[in-house]
Amino acid sequence: MQFDQSKCSVLKGFVTIKDGCAHVVPAAAVDLYFCSVSPGPCGGRLSTRTMLGRTLREVSAALKQGHITPTELCQKCLSIIKKTKFLNAYITVSEEVALKQAEESEKRYKKGHSLGDLDGIPIAVKDNFSTSGIETTCASNMLRGKGYVPPYNATVVQKLLDQGALLMGKTNLDEFAMGSGSTDGVFGPVKNPWSYSKQYREKRKQKSHCENEDSNWLITGGSSGGSAAAVSAFTCFAALGSDTGGSTRNPAAHCGLVGLKPSYGLVSRHGLIPLVNSMDVPGILTRCVDDAAIVLGVLAGHDPKDSTTIQDPVKPFVLPSLTDVSKLCIGIPKEYLTPELSSEVRSLWSKAANLFESEGAKVIEVSLPHTSYSIVCYHVLCTSEVASNMARFDGLEYGHRCDIDVSTEAMYAATRREGFNDVVRGRILSGNFFLLKENYENYFVKAQKVRRLIANDFVTVFNSGVDVLLTPTTLSEAVPYTEFIKEDNRTRSAQDDIFTQAANMAGLPAVSVPMALSNQGLPIGLQFIGRAFCDQELLTIAKWFEKQVQFPVIQLQELMDDCSSVFENEKLASVSLKQ
Amino acid sequence: MAAPMLRLCCPGRRWALACIDGCSRHRRGAPNGCTSSRRRGQSSVAQQPFITAQKPRKGEHEWAAVVGLEIHAQISSKSKLFSGSQVHFAAPPNSLVSFFDASLPGTLPVLNRRCVEAAVMTGLALNCRINKKSLFDRKHYFYADLPAGYQITQQRLPIAVNGSLVYSFCAGKNRSQVINKTARVKQIQLEQDSGKSLHDDLRSQTLIDLNRAEGQLRVDANISVHHPGEPLGVRTEVKNLNSARFLAKAIDYEIQRQINELENGGEILNETRSFDSKLGCTIPMRDKEGKQDYRFMPEPNLPPLLLYDTESLPAGADPQQVIDIDRIREQLPELPSVTREKLVQQYGMLPEHSFTLLNEVGLLEFFQNVMKETRAEPKKVTSWVLNTLLGFLKQQNLAVSESPVTPSALAELLNLLDRKAISSSAAKQVFEELWRNEGKTPAQIVSEKKLELMQDQEALEQLCHAVMEGHPQVVMDVKKGNPRAINKLIGLVRKATLSRADPTVIKEILEKKLAS
């Protein structure tokens, strides 16, 4: 009964739901849509409009009302995928699968048997989720070597497909999701679409003189950077990431998206190739909070194949539009005010706090005293589980196998040396060290105890009446790749996960919501952390915040210069979102 | 052993039952030299044994041996411990392998309820304390038939602990003295089985079968010797013993080997060894030289296993979601020690017979079914079941359920015997006929083979008379007082009746006639 509101007192008794009227389209969200140039079957629908810049919810309404067909939408997204190939967002584009799914979806719409909000919606999936019949690489030579094709779908993938979603492809990541930049995978780094946005380019022109534009592209953050870039560049309407220490929220913040890490146990991990089983959660990347709620509603619930998922039934997610925040209590953890935090993020953070306060919410400083131990504790627990989880990649059954065959042991060693990158091997070595009999008590057990203390910090704060915590998601906006690679993966991960990874340690739901653009014209997101299994309440508050801040839509006209003529600044008056 | 490894899988489910007991067998004798060597050796938790037993021998420096057993027993269940794939004996290799069993990335273990219930029931039967909360751990090692690189087991907090098993054995001249001993059970744990390696030396290949639903029992024995009063010796572990007979042989051999080694100034290495049943000796396992660090870690994909009893059962709990220890206790069948006691009480059976009756699957039920339908004495029935029936079964290597003689047939046969319709030797003949299983009843066989005892007193007297007439010398011997001579006459009369007369009746008639 995790969603029984009586247990989640956050919004108990004071949720004000608007009169059932649908979400109002933010004005800023409509400046990107263009005409379909492919004539419809009757040859007369030249003006069919598709709204690639729009939200999932909006495009879903358009599909239902017949303003666009799933096939048209799919083809549009495929063409954007091709145009944005240089972003390196996708490892595999499953064009044929997507078109086939679109065809089937179209048949359903024609018969009036749509499967729901996701029917016909293009989505992308991080390449560490198993997809039946579609190669799954984890951006590692280990699986890519022989082309590992899973014989089954991850539960979350299956649930999306069961709802009629179109799988556009598998997105890029750091090898086995180990990293915070999406720069350390075997397929190369992912480029942040904002590097090519009008907003960023204009600011750069003002500042820099004649820097080489192309060498200064920005990282997406990671490790779900491919999924973030895919949604941000309009190649799909939602994407699955995974979140172990911030891997969904971090790239969401850098790419101007909503990045949701649900409560641990709310969404099945079956089929997600694990990083840290006790912290991994499938993440959701979308353009707005409502979209994240729609996807979460589809994914959430018990899975008999994952014993760590909740047993209780989950009700469908419908986010009320909060109009009154006066009874909310927002906690600001003082430990999150670190010297490394950029002044811009810091000021936006306090601006957000002020916004809540000015609307009548109670905003208080709270303490999470064990925060500073979180990173080192995470390091021990993460590497230990990594050492264990990676043991199955031995070259025998699937994936890469070396040519050495003098002995099984020699074959294991060479296979693993060739198959894993330095980051993965480094974590395996550390983890095995921590798990040695002589070290287990001093490292692993201690780290588990610290983890408990960190989780208890949150319990204490929430028990004191705080409904939700408001924190930064990242230290700063996205940095150029050339800057990013100056430090090694471990240092960067430690820095970049600082605000996000405690929520994983405690299993709490957390969402990054884009707030504003930095002086450089780049997105900055803030994070809300909620009580365990109060994901709906968390998203309700996030939705209110989203509506207040009116974050601008990325302007990618230059990126898509060859189709700039079809970009129109015209509102889609014909699409009604009432259902 | 490089290379093409067929690796499909099904780590099966089994629990390791670590029980600890003393052992005192030690005699002299040089171990045979062993040359063959085996590969494989997946190791497991070695138990430190606690009990020592000693039996000093004259003229010898005293040695005491300590033995701890780790018993792997397969749970009789329809599907595997952590996956939905089925369990079948002798299924084709790798035919019962789920994605989880094959350790495909992203798959997760799901605990099988039936296996948990079986473990609880075993724990109760072995007087264990059932842990209401138990945990699963990963035990890591690299081996080709361990596809995940770790085995899920219960190292830190197993499902049942601190039990005991009282067992008896017969000693003394006639094996009539029953001695009770207690083996302590340290823990019972649910454990995933690894796959099975099949080494093809000719082609230098190792083939892997991940079904792993075979071998009902596998025992690892930890053995050490020491002088009483001194610290325990270094132990060796003899792995993968698959029968009680080999287990006993391996332990005997290993104790003696260690004693010889130490007496010759050698030292015992802490190593794993295998037992060569052909040569009757233990040999070191090649790939187990160094001490393994299994890097145990909690299994993060399985929440703690919580068990309840009637008191702690949460109100309104879904019976499908919880396991109630008290309910399992109610379902516990009568334990063998109780059954044996009852047999002794009810039928005046010798304790050693009660053991035999229970040790053979189905034999007790057979016995009881015979008892239901016969008027014969329990002692008679016991003797026929344990000697005749079991003898025939053993000779042809058959299970009780495969016996061609049904309990009803045996009961009818014993009734004939009981009312002296046939002689004992005729009864044996009838049994042999029944064993041939030609669909005839004992009565039919008796009638066809004319095996019924001669009931005609007059005819019998005539026969006796004729025999006496024909053997005057023997009659003379009797009359001279040779007591054995009458037996000869009895034998001759029986022969004349084609063994169909009761010897006691013959004896009576002869005595009467001789006395007259």
- Give A 132-151 residues with CB within 8 A of chain B: 136, 138, 143, 148, 150-151
Average pLDDT over residues A443-470: 97
Residue B1 with chain A: CB contacts under 8 Å: 407-408
DSSP-based three-state secondary structure for A303 = strand
Contact A305 B105 (CB under 8 A): no
Q: How many helices (H) and strands (E) does chain A have?
A: 19, 13
Residue B229 has pLDDT above 80, yes or no: yes
Quick one: what percent of chain B has pLDDT higher than 70? 86
Give the Cα separation of A281 and A241 in Å (integer).
9
Give the Cα separation of B271 and B37 in Å (integer).
14
Residue B340: its H or E element:
helix B336-347
Residue A415 with chain B: CB contacts under 8 Å: none
Residue B199 with chain A: CB contacts under 8 Å: none
Residue A271 with chain B: CB contacts under 8 Å: 106-107
Partner A contacted by B91 (CB < 8 A): no
| Best-predicted range by mean pLDDT (A493-497, A572-576, B144-148) | B144-148
Determine the distance in angstroms separating the CA of A443 from the nearest CA of chain B, rounded to an integer.
Answer: 12
Contact B293 A411 (CB under 8 A): no
Partner B contacted by A271 (CB < 8 A): yes
> Side chain identity at B432, as an amino acid letter?
E
pLDDT at B40: 28
Partner B contacted by A408 (CB < 8 A): yes
Determine the distance in angstroms separating the CA of B100 from the nearest CA of chain A, rounded to an integer.
Answer: 10
Residue A41 has pLDDT above 80, yes or no: no
Average pLDDT over residues A484-500: 86
Residue A2 has pLDDT above 50, yes or no: no
pLDDT at B460: 85
Partner A contacted by B147 (CB < 8 A): yes
Is B287 or B311 the better-scoring residue by pLDDT?
Answer: B311
Can A198 be counted among the known catalytic residues?
no
Q: If pLDDT is split at 50, 70 and 90, which confidence band does B432 have?
A: very high
Partner B contacted by A411 (CB < 8 A): yes
Partner A contacted by B86 (CB < 8 A): no
Determine the distance in angstroms separating the CA of A406 from the nearest CA of chain B, rounded to an integer.
Answer: 6
Burial string for A250-281 (b: 16+ CB within 10 Å, else e) reads: bbbbbbbbbbbbbbbbbbbbbbbbbbbbbbbb
pLDDT in tens, B73-97: 888 888 888 887 777 777 888 888 8
Residue B46 has pLDDT above 70, yes or no: no
Candidates A243, A244, A269; CA nearest to A258 is A243
Give the Cα separation of B340 and B350 in Å (integer).
10
DSSP-based three-state secondary structure for A365 = strand
Residues 6+ apart with CB under 8 A from A260: A248, A249, A283, A284, A285, A286, A292, A296, A509, A510, A511, A512, A535, A539
Residue A548 has pLDDT above 90, yes or no: yes
State the CB neighbour count (10 A cutoff) for residue A180: 30
Mean pLDDT of chain B: 83
Pairs across A and B, CB distance < 8 A? 111
**Which among A36, A247, A263, A374 is annotated as catalytic?**
A247
Contact A152 B99 (CB under 8 A): yes
pLDDT at A40: 32
Give the Cα separation of A451 and A433 in Å (integer).
19
Of B103, B149, B303, the CB nearest to A307: B303
What residue ranges define each of the domains in chain B, with the CATH number in brackets?
A: 5-11+60-287 (no CATH), 336-449 (no CATH), 457-515 (1.10.10.410)
Q: If pLDDT is split at 50, 70 and 90, which confidence band does A209 have?
A: low
Contact B106 A277 (CB under 8 A): no
Residue B104 with chain A: CB contacts under 8 Å: 130, 150-152, 398
**Which among A76, A83, A105, A126 is annotated as catalytic?**
A126
Q: If pLDDT is split at 50, 70 and 90, which confidence band does B206 have?
A: confident
Partner B contacted by A499 (CB < 8 A): no
Residue A134 with chain B: CB contacts under 8 Å: none
Residue A304 with chain B: CB contacts under 8 Å: 110
> Which of A307, A443, A451 to probe by mutation at the B interface, max B CB count within 10 Å?
A307
Partner B contacted by A437 (CB < 8 A): yes
Cα angle for residues B331, B335, B337 (degrees, 5° grid):
165
Can A242 be counted among the known catalytic residues?
no
Give the Cα separation of A255 and A364 in Å (integer).
29
Provide the ipTM.
0.88
pLDDT in tens, B456-487: 788 888 888 888 888 888 888 888 888 788 88
Residue B490 has pLDDT above 70, yes or no: yes
Quick one: what percent of chain A has pLDDT higher than 70? 86
pLDDT in tens, A58-109: 999 999 999 999 999 999 999 999 999 999 999 999 999 999 999 999 999 9
Contact A271 B107 (CB under 8 A): yes
Partner B contacted by A412 (CB < 8 A): yes
Burial of residue B340 (CB within 10 Å: 0-12, 13-18, 19+) is buried
A223 prior amide bond cis, ω within 30 = yes
Determine the distance in angstroms separating the CA of A528 from the nearest CA of chain B, rounded to an integer.
Answer: 26
Q: Report residue B294 as tokens.
A: 């299994």
Is A281 or B455 the better-scoring residue by pLDDT?
Answer: A281
Can A247 be counted among the known catalytic residues?
yes
Determine the distance in angstroms separating the CA of B351 from the nearest CA of chain A, rounded to an integer.
Answer: 49
Of B102, B106, B206, the CB nearest to A397: B102
> Which of A397, A400, A444 to probe by mutation at the B interface, max B CB count within 10 Å?
A397
User: Which residue from B minimizes the CA distance to A306?
Assistant: B108
pLDDT in tens, A357-416: 999 999 999 999 999 999 999 999 999 999 999 999 999 889 999 999 888 899 999 999
Residue B206 with chain A: CB contacts under 8 Å: 408
